[in-house]
């Protein structure tokens, strides 16, 4: 995290300097009649996903000799630093793959093209409003705009050891009748025996996970009154925090040694039967399919239900730079790249959920194999994550929320202390961004 912060600081400083030196500017585009070449910065990194991306680009290039697309692979690890320098140097890629949290900052600085009014109706209508909400941001001039096309989303499901569930004779939940958090707690107790913990909560990066799940009980963690955003940790926000803590220290059904782990780290223990249930993003199924030992039986369970099954969501996005040389051609390419059938291919490659309604109906998205049916159904519970629209969220997350939640889950501070820190220290951070 420190390295990322340092990188971001460096990139921003460099960007400021370049701006001071005067932008480079492009070459003005291709001459009339000459084919246009678009640079497409993709962040696909899974083998299947890279292959799906390249295949779609090849398809497009064959069908559109006048608009050729050059596939360039970036990395999630440093894409935003790379983009800031590119924007300021006046040479950004023509089509940019990123995620919605990053778009907010880029949009307010005027780096991205407002796509409202530019997208074909077919694409607009194929993606639900809840997904469009994740890419609609202030334009920095008092208005709002749509700064990307959302195409892949992630929900939190529960990946379970099927044999242990069967042995404990517990009810297998369905999307129509999911486990409630109470039921989940009871079942975790049943599954905790003979050296097996019911559940593992990897909380190395707890903030987004907790905030997304908190919506199960209506917890938003932020409120906005009179245009001023403040942190709130009331009864609704405390529910999920308290329930996870109870599993760790009261029920002792969650393995405390998993707390410091990253998302994928509990998998070896999961395969070895150390934990029966693993709350995780839907993409983790790919790792299970690739790594699980022969004969290991697993199942994807639908999201847990509190007062609702709603979860906060962000999106992976494709955007067009504001000062791009070929915005119309870029929009045409995006419209092709993210049509229903193509979104299904991209979603399969990344093991994520397509925003396209047509893609969600693709047979490969509704098959029982590898839990696709459950995963795809969970997309219906996704609503825009409240923190997505909060200026200063990144700093609140890294400086206040992450250490506070880690200490709380490590049982070093009480829930009251955690709540007080989240609010008091958090409000100071947000106040700076409101000026």
Binding site for another protein (CB under 8 A): 6-7, 9-11, 13-14, 17-18, 21, 41, 45-47, 50, 72-78, 81-82, 85-86, 89, 91, 99, 204-205, 262-264, 267-269, 271-272, 274, 281, 287, 290-294
Q: List all residues 6 or more positions away from 103 whose beta carbon is below 8 Å from its beta carbon.
A: 112, 135, 137, 147, 148, 317, 319
Q: Minimum CB separation from another protein for residue 194, in Å?
A: 16
Q: Minimum CB separation from another protein for residue 347, in Å?
A: 15
Strands 95-99 and 36-42 come out as parallel
Six-digit token string for 307: 């007062």
Region of 177 (left: φ > 0; alpha: ψ -120 to 50; beta: rest) is beta
Instruction: Spell out a b/e string for 268-307, using b for 16 or more CB atoms within 10 Å of the CB, else e.
Output: ebbbeebbbbbbbbbbbbbbbeeeeeeeeebbbbbbbbbe
Nearer to another protein, 305 or 326 (CB): 326
Q: Minimum CB separation from another protein for residue 389, in Å?
A: 21
Nearer to another protein, 64 or 287 (CB): 287
Nearer to another protein, 6 or 415 (CB): 6
Instruction: Give the separation between CA 253 and CA 275, rounded to whole angstroms.
Output: 9
Nearer to another protein, 178 or 324 (CB): 324
Provide the 3-class DSSP secondary structure of residue 112.
Answer: strand
Q: Minimum CB separation from another protein for residue 54, in Å?
A: 10
Instruction: Give the separation between CA 249 and CA 409, rounded to whole angstroms.
Output: 9
Confirm if 15 and 87 have CB atoms less than 8 A apart: yes
Nearer to another protein, 80 or 376 (CB): 80
Instruction: Give the separation between CA 349 and CA 365, rounded to whole angstroms.
Output: 11
Confirm if 97 and 112 have CB atoms less than 8 A apart: no
Kindly give the residue spans of alpha helices, DSSP state H, lying in 250-356: 267-271, 284-291, 327-337, 340-350
Nearer to another protein, 32 or 293 (CB): 293
Q: Minimum CB separation from another protein for residue 45, in Å?
A: 4
> In whole angstroms, what separates CA 258 from the centre of its chain?
22
Q: Minimum CB separation from another protein for residue 272, in Å?
A: 4
Of the candidates 137, 139, 46, the one whose C-alpha atom is nearest the C-alpha of residue 100 is: 137
Q: Minimum CB separation from another protein for residue 47, in Å?
A: 6
Kindly give the residue spans of alpha helices, DSSP state H, lying in 140-295: 162-167, 181-191, 206-214, 235-249, 267-271, 284-291
- Residue 116 phi/psi, 5-degree rounding, is -60, 135
Nearer to another protein, 89 or 322 (CB): 89
User: Is residue 187 classed exposed, middle or buried when 0-12, 13-18 and 19+ CB atoms within 10 A define those classes?
Assistant: buried
Q: Minimum CB separation from another protein for residue 44, in Å?
A: 9
Instruction: Give the separation between CA 383 and CA 395, rounded to whole angstroms.
Output: 23
Q: Minimum CB separation from another protein for residue 294, in Å?
A: 8
Nearer to another protein, 9 or 415 (CB): 9
- Residue 241 phi/psi, 5-degree rounding, is -55, -50
Confirm if 218 and 312 have CB atoms less than 8 A apart: no
Q: Minimum CB separation from another protein for residue 16, in Å?
A: 9
Nearer to another protein, 71 or 372 (CB): 71
Q: Minimum CB separation from another protein for residue 105, in Å?
A: 18
Nearer to another protein, 263 or 335 (CB): 263
Nearer to another protein, 76 or 249 (CB): 76
Within 13 Å of residue 386, how many CA atoms lie on the same side as its CB?
Answer: 22
């Amino acid at each position: 995290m420190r390295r990322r912060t340092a990188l971001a600081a460096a990139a921003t400083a460099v960007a400021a300097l370049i701006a001071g030196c005067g932008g480079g500017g492009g070459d003005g585009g291709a001459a009339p009649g000459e084919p246009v070449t678009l640079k497409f910065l993709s962040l696909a990194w899974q083998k299947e996903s890279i292959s799906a991306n390249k295949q779609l680009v090849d398809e497009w290039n064959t069908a559109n000799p006048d608009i050729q697309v050059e596939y360039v692979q970036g990395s999630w690890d440093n894409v935003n630093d790379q983009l800031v320098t590119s924007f300021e140097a006046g040479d950004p890629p023509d089509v940019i793959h990123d995620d919605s949290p990053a778009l907010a900052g880029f949009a307010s600085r005027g780096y991205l093209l407002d796509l409202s009014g530019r997208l074909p109706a077919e694409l607009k209508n194929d993606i639900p409003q809840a997904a469009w909400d994740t890419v609609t941001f202030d334009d920095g001039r008092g208005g709002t705009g749509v700064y990307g096309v959302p195409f892949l989303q992630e929900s939190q499901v529960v990946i379970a050891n099927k044999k242990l569930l069967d042995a404990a004779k517990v009810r297998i939940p369905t999307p129509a009748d999911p486990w409630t958090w109470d039921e989940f707690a009871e079942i975790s107790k049943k599954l905790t025996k003979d050296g097996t913990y019911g559940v593992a909560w990897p909380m190395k990066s707890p903030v987004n996970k907790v905030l997304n799940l908190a919506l199960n009980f209506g917890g938003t963690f932020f409120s906005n009154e009179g245009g001023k955003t403040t942190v709130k940790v009331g009864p609704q926000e405390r529910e999920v925090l308290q329930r996870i803590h109870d599993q760790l220290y009261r029920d002792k059904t969650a393995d405390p040694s998993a707390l410091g782990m990253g998302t994928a780290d509990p998998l070896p223990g999961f395969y070895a039967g150390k934990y029966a249930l693993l709350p995780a993003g839907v993409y983790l199924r790919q790792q299970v399919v690739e790594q699980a030992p022969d004969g290991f039986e697993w199942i994807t369970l639908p999201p847990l239900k509190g007062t609702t099954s709603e979860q906060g969501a962000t999106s992976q996005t494709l955007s067009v730079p504001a000062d791009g040389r070929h915005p119309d051609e870029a929009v045409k390419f995006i419209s092709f790249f993210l049509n229903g059938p193509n979104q299904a291919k991209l979603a399969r490659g990344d093991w994520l959920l397509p925003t396209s309604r047509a893609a969600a109906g693709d047979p490969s998205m509704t098959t029982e194999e590898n839990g696709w049916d459950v995963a795809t159904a969970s997309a219906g519970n996704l609503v825009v994550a409240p923190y997505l629209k909060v200026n200063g969220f990144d700093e609140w997350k890294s400086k206040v929320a992450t250490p506070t939640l880690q200490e709380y889950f490590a049982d070093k501070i009480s829930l009251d202390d955690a709540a007080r820190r989240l609010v008091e220290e958090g409000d100071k951070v947000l106040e700076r961004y409101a000026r």
